[in-house]
Amino acid sequence: MRGLTRGYVIRRIGMFFLTIWLGATIIYIIPRLMPGDPVSAMISRMMAQAGRIENTEQIIAAWREKFGLDDPPLTQYLRYMGNLLTFDLDYSLSSFPARVNELIARSIPWTLGLLTMATIISFVAGNAIGALMGWRNTPKTLKAILPFSLTFTSVPFFMLGMLLIYIFAYGLRWFSPGGSAARGIPQGLTWDYIMTVIHHGMLPAFAIVLASMGGWALGMRGMMITSAGEDYLILAQAKGLRLGRIFWRYSVRNAILPQVTALALSMGSIVAGSILVEYLFSYPGTGYLLYLGIVNSDFTLIQGVVFVLIVATSFAVLLIDLLYPLIDPRITYQKR
């Protein structure tokens, strides 16, 4: 491929694994520095449900042994790393005997679907609005209306979500206030099921798009204004090119380059889901899962979700690094 050398690709992929290893180590250490012990937390939760529990001491000791929590730290660390290599993310401490793999596998499609759609819509709409706002030849009336589309950017995510639920779910009853699909419709690739999933996803997606679109728009607007004074734009005008061509090929094409980098970075966080939005709409994605993990001091679950997040972010950055020479011809990894 243009601009890539084999040496660079190998080094870059090495970098990718190094990042993941470092990230995995950090997420191993940090939860263990937190106050609170997951096993006692679990016992107290069980006690809250069942009243008194006999032999709590023995249960705690047995579980600590079962999870290997009494082994020397290094042994625990090596076992953890070994498991990661096989993508075995251990049992979830809070919803034993479920395994973290299964929990993540169950929630990731929801998050991927919701956030991929929302991010793409927000990226496209935001950049289009920003590009038109920053362009000199945009019709005046349009230029006057566009900023209104960004009003909701200043409202926090969760406030916006509550507002949407209040208006569209309780007020107008167009959408349901939460969940990912209507009850009673069997899961599967049927028309009914797909429709209910889309219907349930719309409100949270709308919240994310409304709240994040403005960031893209403002970034793009800034880039458009910066590039408006460029000599190549004046020359393009002098050439008598059509406005559409100047807009797309000369203006937007150059202004969007930093936005693409930002998109790659946000791709990583798609996997993590949007904790607040998912929590608010009780959407069963990874963000909600991470929330549950934190609330229950579930080490292994937090580790698992964050590990997936690290892998996804590193992968998105790796991908953009390898694809960037195609987007910007000035970037090349070839030595000259």
Point out which residues bind another protein (CB under 8 A).
136, 229-232, 234-242, 245, 249-250, 253-254, 257, 328-330
Contact criterion met (CB below 8 Å) for 30 and 302: no
Q: How many CA atoms lie within 13 A of 282 on its CB side?
A: 7
Least separation, in Å, of the C-beta of 324 and another protein? 12
User: Between residues 71 and 328, which has the closer beta carbon with respect to another protein?
Assistant: 328
User: Between residues 37 and 230, which has the closer beta carbon with respect to another protein?
Assistant: 230
User: Between residues 149 and 261, which has the closer beta carbon with respect to another protein?
Assistant: 261
User: Between residues 20 and 260, which has the closer beta carbon with respect to another protein?
Assistant: 260
What CA–CA distance (Å, rounded) separates 300 from 88? 11
Contact criterion met (CB below 8 Å) for 93 and 42: yes
Least separation, in Å, of the C-beta of 227 and another protein? 10
User: Between residues 54 and 231, which has the closer beta carbon with respect to another protein?
Assistant: 231
Least separation, in Å, of the C-beta of 145 and another protein? 21
Least separation, in Å, of the C-beta of 231 and another protein? 4
What CA–CA distance (Å, rounded) separates 89 from 81? 10
Least separation, in Å, of the C-beta of 257 and another protein? 8
3-state secondary structure of 204: helix
One-character DSSP codes across 136-199: TTS-HHHHHHGGGGGGGGGS-HHHHHHHHIIIIIIIS-SS-SS-SS-TTSPSSS-HHHHHHHHH
List the structure tokens of 298.
């579930």
